[in-house]
Amino acid sequence: MFIDSHAHLQNEQFDNDIEIVYKKSLDNSVGRIINIGYDLNSCKKTIEIINRFEHIWGTVGMHPHDAINYNKNFEENLFLFFADKKIIGLGEIGLDYFKEYSPIDIQKKVFIKQLEIAKEKELPVVIHCRDAYDDCYEILKSHNVSKGVMHCFSGDEKEVERFLSLGFYISFTGTVTFRKNDLKAVKATPVDRLLLETDCPYMTPVPFRGKRNDPSYIPIIAQKIASVHKVDVLEIEEKTTENVYRLFKRLS
């Protein structure tokens, strides 16, 4: 089976047909989905979804866009969420200097705080990083964080090497089907450190680009990555699934 390591099924685009999307994904050999929280409401919806669907697990955390909203109430809820056995990681968290919806200094403080919590709870982290690779790397390195994934990776080959050196996995979305620069990063990432994700409802792969993305499209992403590595897609299916289980110890 394949695993979609990063989905947002709590998005309102799935409100009317999440059951259909779920069945479609299973029918397309996507046997596990990890639903990712990014603020208080999305985390609460993630808890609802993972307890509603057998083959969906989740993570919770505060996205850098919303870092300005991180407060004691959110943190208290975060620890409550961890009590659910199907919460398997902390994220998505990180830094985003491209849109900078929250001030950079606040993003850094909230990022570091959540990294400390992840270490305390012995959970892997799901990292969002855009136009902030230097700071993200230095923060992860200085805080000795080695268990995590760089989600929706858009860096170059040199960035791949830096995060691999920390022990991180690198995850790719449907952009590999339409961004040539992404393929260089794919090629630089060993198969035993790769994860697959849709980041749905965003990042829809060709030939469905422009439509809503969903976990059933994971095999398309896998096929493209297989062609870059010049291996059979079955190897990508097997290795990326093993990688997810190795990283997310709570996944069953």
Mean pLDDT across 190-205: 98
Query: Rounded distance, CA 205 to CA 98, Å?
Result: 23
Count of Cβ atoms closer than 10 Å to residue 211 Cβ: 10
- The pLDDT tens digits of the residues spanning 127-177 come to 999 999 999 999 999 999 999 999 999 999 999 999 999 999 999 999 999
What residue type is assigned to position 73 of the chain?
A: N
pTM to 2 decimal places: 0.98
Give the pLDDT score at 252: 87
Can you tell me the mean pLDDT for 58-75?
A: 98
- The pLDDT value recorded for residue 142 is 98
CATH (residue range 2-247): 3.20.20.140
**Cα–Cα dist 4/2, whole Å:** 7
Q: What are the pLDDT digits (tens) for 23-36?
A: 999 999 999 999 99
Q: What is the pLDDT of residue 181?
A: 85
For residue 117, report the phi and psi dihedrals to the nearest 5 degrees: -65, -40
What integer pLDDT is reported at residue 100 of this predicted model?
A: 93
- CB-CB contact of 38 with 10 (8 Å): no
Q: Which residues are 94's β-sheet partners?
A: 128
Residue 15 to residues 8, 29, 33, 207, 210, Cα–Cα distance (Å): 11, 23, 17, 24, 19
Query: Would you state the pLDDT for residue 207?
Result: 97
Tokens of 172: 């790719």
Segments making up each domain of the chain, as ranges? 2-247
- Mean pLDDT to the nearest integer, 51-67: 98
Return the pLDDT at 52. Answer: 98
Q: What is the pLDDT of residue 145?
A: 98
The two structure tokens encoding residue 229: 């590595």
